[in-house]
A and B are shown apart, each in its own frame.
Chain A
Amino acid sequence: MTALLETKGLTARYGDFQALFGVDLRLDAGETVAIIGANGAGKTTLMRSIAGVLANGPGEVLFDGQPIGALPAAQVMARGIAMVPEGRKLFPSLSVEENLLMGAYGRKVEGPWRLDTVYDLFPVLKERRNNPGTALSGGQQQMVAIGRALMSNPRVLLCDEISLGLAPVVIRDIYAAFPQIRAAGASIVIVEQDIGQALKVADRVSCMMEGRVTLTGRPAELSREDIHAAYFGVHA
């Protein structure tokens, strides 16, 4: 069976600095994969490479078996890969509702996610729909960013560091939405520094270090020691 999304030997660089060294990643339909790793491990670079924001190569990105590695972000998105970018990146000139509507700009397909269903998922956004996106709390802004990505009814949802800078109770609220998102049909890649959170939601976990995948497996099969070694490069 072909994977829904797959990278094969993916490399990427920022000028002279190589950030990814032959990364292999696989996401099957219906699955949630978490990518964990320390700061600078290359997780965000991997997300940006897949989303088409960052030029990449050599190496391949396959979506439904089709190469998409060379496509610009707008075309990747139109095929059904939506990203929740690191730092949320709401548009400050747009209201909450306009931010959400913007999510479907380049891909208008029928599906479970519309303005009303996103408001059902995050009711607080409906109350604040006419506020500027940036007037919201960090957690609410994160909800807007997730809702915005859902508006295009993506087949793959890439979530980059969605718990960064948020209080634990807020993180819990946001992750509470994930079972519904999965149930509605999206396959998900989560980049997370919070290992515990990642292990809880993911079917499989990949650990990255210094631009390479150092460990992949199902949460239940991975020992603390394995993860520790893959995360920090040393045995505990």
Chain B
Amino acid sequence: MIWVDTIVQGVLLGGLYALFAAGLSLVFGVMRLVNLAHGDLIVLGAFLILVIVSALGLNPFLAALVALPVMFCLGWGLQFVVLNRTLGDDILPPLLVTFGLSIVIQNALLEGFSADSRRISVGGLEAASVSLGPIAVGVMPLLTFLSAVAVIIALNALFYRTALGRAFRATSDDPVTAGLMGVDPKRLFATATGIAMIVVTIAALYLGTRSNFDPTIGPARLIYAFEAVIIGGLGSFWGTLAGGVIIGVAQTMGAAINPEWQILSGHVAFLLVLLFRPRGLFPRAND
């Protein structure tokens, strides 16, 4: 029974990691860009929500709603002004620029908010739980997981059911020919990053409400996100969710054996998948 509980908690934790990963997966799917500042952007989002909560006295969920357009614009501008310049055949510019961005965001946050741990309070909801059969499940973890599923469904619908999603896939295939169809790749990429920032904001809401955060925890979030994307297989949103769940379950099971092994077990699970299924569990056929 303890193991079932551990696995359920792990699955729910995996929802959080899938939220971290979905934005990374989206941006990679559209423009083959790996943003090393992704984790720091999530932390930035958490601080933004924190600021809105304390400045306007809003409920964190409403504050996240206010943060959404801000983060969208931030992502749009970041892509349009900075990251578009780095795209091309050479992998160095995007990697080094986003790595620099990661360091800049971390230290700007340190300067602005100090290294203290913060938490966004959701007023009692943290402690609330519901029972699923014999297992008690926290409301916040459950909400996180359901949000992750909703985000994955929404991203799939966007990608496969809308004109914008078609343009994303077409431009990912061949930006020049997409230009002949009226796509301005620079604006399209900016829109993709803007949407990724919306997902980042949702991830930030749960990051900030479920545990403490400080300006330096971004890189670890990037690593979990990356592991989820690779385990799931590049280009598959459902795969990303599965990848997040695998990391989450590995972590809670590791922690159940020895609390110091939590993070390590997640990484080991990733390395095992890399060893035996280097293309991930659900690779896209034509990649």
Binding site for B on A (CB under 8 A): 51-53, 72-74, 77-78, 82-83, 85, 89, 91-94, 98, 101-103, 105-107, 148, 152
Given that A89-B174, A91-B173, A93-B169 are known contacts, is A53 also in contact with B179, CB under 8 Å in the complex? yes
- Chain A residues with CB under 8 Å of B181's CB are 77, 102-103, 105-106, 148, 152
Scoring B residues 166 to 193 as 1 if CB is less than 8 Å from chain A, else 0, what string do you get? 1101101110111111111000000000
Q: Does B286 contact A (CB under 8 A)?
A: yes
Does A93 lie within 8 Å of B182, measured CB to CB? no
| Interface residue B163 (Cβ < 8 Å from any Cβ of A) | yes
- Cross-interface CB contact of A53 among B166, B180, B182, B184, cutoff 8 Å: B180
Enumerate chain A residues within 8 angstroms of B170, measured Cβ to Cβ.
91, 93-94, 102, 105
With A89-B177, A91-B169, A93-B173 as known contacts, state yes or no: A106 contacts B163, CB within 8 Å.
Answer: no
- Measured in the bound complex, the distance between the Cα atoms of B188 and A72 in whole Å is 14
Q: Is the interface of A mostly helix, strand, loop or mixed?
A: loop
Main secondary structure of the interface of B (DSSP, over half): helix
A105 touches B174 (CB 8 A): no
- B98 CB to nearest A CB, Å: 25
Which chain B residues lie closer than 8 Å to A74 at the CB level? 179, 182-184
Question: Taking the nearest CB of chain A, how far is it from the CB of B236, in angstroms?
Answer: 13
In Å, the complex CA distance between A190 and B183 comes to: 24
Report chain B residues within 8 Å CB of A98. 166, 169
Say yes or no: B182 contacts A105, CB within 8 Å. Answer: yes
Partner of A93, one of B163, B180, B184, B286: B286
Hey, which chain B residues are within 8 Å of A91, CB to CB?
Answer: 169-170, 173-174, 177-178
Q: Known interface pairs A53-B176, A53-B179, A91-B169. Does A72 touch B184 (Cβ–Cβ under 8 Å)?
A: yes
- Cβ distance B10 to chain A, nearest Cβ, rounded Å: 33
Q: Which residue of B lies closest to A132 (CB)?
A: B286
**Complex Cα spacing A90 to B181, Å:** 11
Minimum CB–CB distance from B162 to chain A (whole Å) comes to 11
Cβ contact within 8 Å between B169 and A94: yes
In the complex, what distance in Å separates the CA atom of A128 from the CA atom of B80? 38
Set of chain B residues within 8 Å of A53, measured between Cβ atoms: 176, 179-180
A77 near B182 with CB under 8 A, answer yes
Q: In the bound complex, how far is the Cα of B93 from the Cα of A233, in angstroms?
A: 47
Contact A102–B179 (Cβ < 8 Å): no
In the bound assembly, the distance between CA atoms of A160 and B170 in angstroms comes to 20
User: Given A92-B286, A107-B182, do A102 and B176 touch, yes or no (CB 8 Å)?
Assistant: no
Known: A91-B178, A105-B163, A105-B178. 8 other contacts (CB 8 A): A73-B176, A77-B181, A91-B169, A98-B166, A103-B181, A105-B166, A105-B167, A105-B181
B179 contact set on A, CB distance < 8 A: 52-53, 72-74, 77
Taking a contact as CB atoms closer than 8 A, the residue among B180, B182, B286 that contacts A85 in the complex is B180
Q: Closest CB-CB distance, A101 to chain B, in whole Å?
A: 6
* Residues 176-212 of B at the A interface (beta carbon under 8 Å): 176-184
- Taking CB atoms, residues of chain B closer than 8 Å to A82 are 180
Cα(A73)–Cα(B163), bound, Å: 19
* Chain B CB within 10 Å, residue with most, of A51, A74, A89, A148: A74
Complex CA distance for A92 and B286, rounded to whole angstroms: 8
A144 to B166, CA, bound (A): 16
Bound Cα distance from A106 to B180, whole angstroms: 9
